[in-house]
A and B are shown apart, each in its own frame.
Chain A
Amino acid sequence: GENVEQHPSTLSVQEGDSAVIKCTYSDSASNYFPWYKQELGKGPQLIIDIRSNVGEKKDQRIAVTLNKTAKHFSLHITETQPEDSAVYFCAASHSTLTFGKGTMLLVSP
C-alpha cells in the first residue's frame, strides 16, 4: 500500500519567515495530494490540495508543489503569522487517503 513520509516533525519559525514542509510518497498511482491543518481541539481542516496533472498551486500565502517523478510534494507558507501555529498533515491518495505523521509548526511573534 501507500506510504507517506513527512518532514520535519516539528518546525519553529519567527513571525514573517517562510515555512516549508516536505512529504514523499511511494505509490506512483497516487493522484491527489491534500494538506490539512489541525488546531488544538479541532479536527483537521483542508487548506490546499493538488492533483497529479498540476505541478504547483497557490492560494494567498500558501503554495503546494508536486514532483511526480521524484514522488514528493511540499507545502510552502510565506509571511507566517502566529495563527499559522498548528499541526499540518500531508496525504496522498489513489483511492483512500494515506496521511503523513504530521508537522507541528510554531510561529513565534
Chain B
Amino acid sequence: DVKVTQSSRYLVKRTGEKVFLECVQDMDHENMFWYRQDPGLGLRLIYFSYDVKMKEKGDIPEGYSVSREKKERFSLILESASTNQTSMYLCASNPTRSNQPQHFGDGTRLSIL
C-alpha cells in the first residue's frame, strides 16, 4: 500500500516565523503535490513537482515555496507565516506524468497565531 506521511498532524507557529512542512512517500512516485484545504473552498493546489529539484506553481503559490532534494521527500515552506495561512495542508503523490490516482497523507493542521 502506498504511504504518504506528513511529519506533523498539528502545528502552532507565530506570525513571521519560517515554517517547514515535510512530506515523505514510500512508493518511488515521480510526482508530489501540496494542497491547502479550507472549509467551503475544497482543496487548492499550492505547488507540485514532477521530479527531483523540479517545482511548478499551482493555483495559489503566493507566500509559499517548496523544496525537493530527494525523490521521496517534498517540503512546503512558509517564508514568513501569516494568519491567513492557518489551514489544513495536504500532501499527495502519484507515479507518472499522465493522469493517475493521487495518494494523500492525513494532513497537517497549521495554526498561525
The answer on A and B forming one complex is yes
Residues of chain A having any CB pair with chain B under 8 Å: 1, 6, 9, 31-32, 34, 36, 41-46, 49, 51, 89, 93, 96-102
Report the bound CA distance from A102 to B41 in whole Å.
8
Asked if residues A101 and B41 are in contact (CB atoms below 8 Å), the reply is yes
A-B pair count, CB < 8 Å, reads 47
B90 CB-CB contact with A under 8 Å: yes
Size of the chain B interface, CB-CB below 8 angstroms:
21
Provide the bound-state CA to CA distance between A96 and B48, in Å.
9
**Chain B residues with a Cβ under 8 A of chain A:** 4, 33, 40-45, 48, 58-59, 90, 92, 99, 101-107
- Min CB distance A75 to B, Å, is 15
Is B45 a contact of A96 with CB atoms below 8 Å?
yes
What would be 20 A-B contacts, judged by CB atoms less than 8 Å apart?
A1-B59, A32-B99, A36-B104, A41-B106, A42-B106, A43-B4, A43-B90, A43-B92, A43-B106, A43-B107, A44-B104, A45-B104, A46-B103, A89-B42, A89-B43, A96-B58, A97-B43, A101-B41, A101-B42, A102-B42
